[in-house]
Structure 1
Amino acid sequence: MPRDRSADDRRLDGWLTATARGSEEAFTLLYDSLSGSVRGLALRVVRDASQAEEVAQEVMLEVWRTAARFRPERASAKAWVFALAHHRAVDRVRSAQAASDRDRRVAEGSSERPFDMVAELVQDRDERRRLYRCLAALGRDLRVPLVLAYYEGLTYDEVAHALSKPPGTVKTRMRTGLHRLRECLEAGG
């Protein structure tokens, strides 16, 4: 059951739901209401105004394309959009860092093996499988809060509400779950 939301949250939820049905007017209202905050969030992560603007545009385009994935019973529209923005901004920072690292290695005449896209893809896929195995090995009380937070983008409070548990209990379970997940991954998953 969704928790009581402010009138502003309900309005944003309605606009996002209408956007999922193809309403350009609702998307315009949603865009006008959230794009500045999305840009601000992106700026705090990427620390470059032009990059933040690009991230904000990408996020709002993603909102238009994927609005049907929004589930108001899981999170508010604002939280959902901000989760998309945070993920996109972090991806942008990682991508820039990886490019910078590659450029540095090339400039230094590094003797490391050249970047191998297939090897990288296989390694990423293997790491993802290990993560899923370790996640599945956790008990439900530790696994579910992590999935809701990290895969669904819910805040501690939203996870606590969804599970009908106190926020302190959720935080403890998530901390314990992350610790056990780290141990499993370090042990080879």
Structure 2
Amino acid sequence: MSTVVHLSGPGRPGTDLKELLSRTALGDREAFGRLYDAVAGPVLGLVRRVLRDPAQSEEVAQEVMLEVWRTCARYRPERGEVLAWVLTIAHRRAVDRVRAAQAAADRDRRAAAASHTPAFDEVAEQVEGRLEREQVRRCLKGLTELQRESITLAYYRGYTYPQVAELLGTPLGTVKTRMRDALIRLRDCLGVGA
């Protein structure tokens, strides 16, 4: 069963995607514009599901549409619908981008592992780090619940003060005051110079 997507607008009769693609293959920019309008949404949706990064998804979707423009003469109607052909291109591009990112991350990891030289006294540093973490935990326990939650959300989870206020259902001014007081108490507890 063949699905034909019809586009219509003021003064335009319905046009199917195959016709738009064949006109695009002849260099018809208006046909490509209408084809773009018809398939760009599904292309971006598919790419975004694969990449999950909005900025990269938009970039790859644009690359896909450029590839459609350049290669539309290669489309063969007997092999499938236009939208399926375009989405196949989109899926391949998105997967290629994921693979390239993974390969780069793997190369970086290998380079970092190869260049890692252990510190002179790595065991002593690890013990010192554990002791410092324990001291911070002990000092955090000395804070009020609101102070502890605010510090945890802001410094350990990366939320901004307005986001912390919203998450805790507390006025922004109150959160800022509690955070300032908490930081002073932590500084004193940890013995950090003023």
TM-score for the superposition, normalised by structure 1? 0.54
| Pair 1:20-2:18 in alignment | no
| Pair 1:38-2:56 in alignment | no
2-structure distance, mates of 1:110, 1:21: 54
| Pair 1:73-2:78 in alignment | yes
Q: Please state how far the C-alpha of 1:7 moved relative to its aligned partner.
A: 4.4
1-structure distance, mates of 2:36, 2:59: 14
Report the counterpart of residue 63 of structure 1 in structure 2: 68
Report the counterpart of residue 92 of structure 1 in structure 2: 97
Spell out, residue by residue over 1:151-177, the C-alpha distance to the aligned partner (whole angstroms, 9 max, x if none). Answer: xxxxxxxxxxxxxxxxxxxxxxxxxxx
SS at match of 2:16: helix
Residues 105-144 of structure 1 correspond to what in structure 2 (within 5 A)?
A: 105-109=110-114
Q: Please state how far the C-alpha of 1:11 moved relative to its aligned partner.
A: 0.6
**Unaligned stretches of 5+ in structure 2?**
8-14, 117-194
SS at match of 2:76: coil
Point out the structure with max Rg over C-alpha.
Answer: 2
1:110–1:60 distance in 2 versus 1, CA, 3 Å: same
TM-score for the superposition, normalised by structure 2? 0.53
1-structure distance, mates of 2:68, 2:45: 17
- What amino acid does structure 2 have at the position aligned with 1:35? A
Report the counterpart of residue 5 of structure 1 in structure 2: 3
Q: Please state how far the C-alpha of 1:33 moved relative to its aligned partner.
A: 1.0
Aligned length: 109
1:106–1:22 distance in 2 versus 1, CA, 3 Å: same
1-structure distance, mates of 2:59, 2:5: 30
**Unaligned stretches of 5+ in structure 1?**
112-189
The answer on whether the counterparts of 2:4 and 2:17 sit within 8 Å (CA) in structure 1 is no
Q: Please state how far the C-alpha of 1:6 moved relative to its aligned partner.
A: 2.9
2-structure distance, mates of 1:4, 1:34: 17
The answer on whether the counterparts of 2:2 and 2:81 sit within 8 Å (CA) in structure 1 is no
- What amino acid does structure 2 have at the position aligned with 1:86? H
2-structure distance, mates of 1:62, 1:22: 14
2-structure distance, mates of 1:59, 1:17: 17
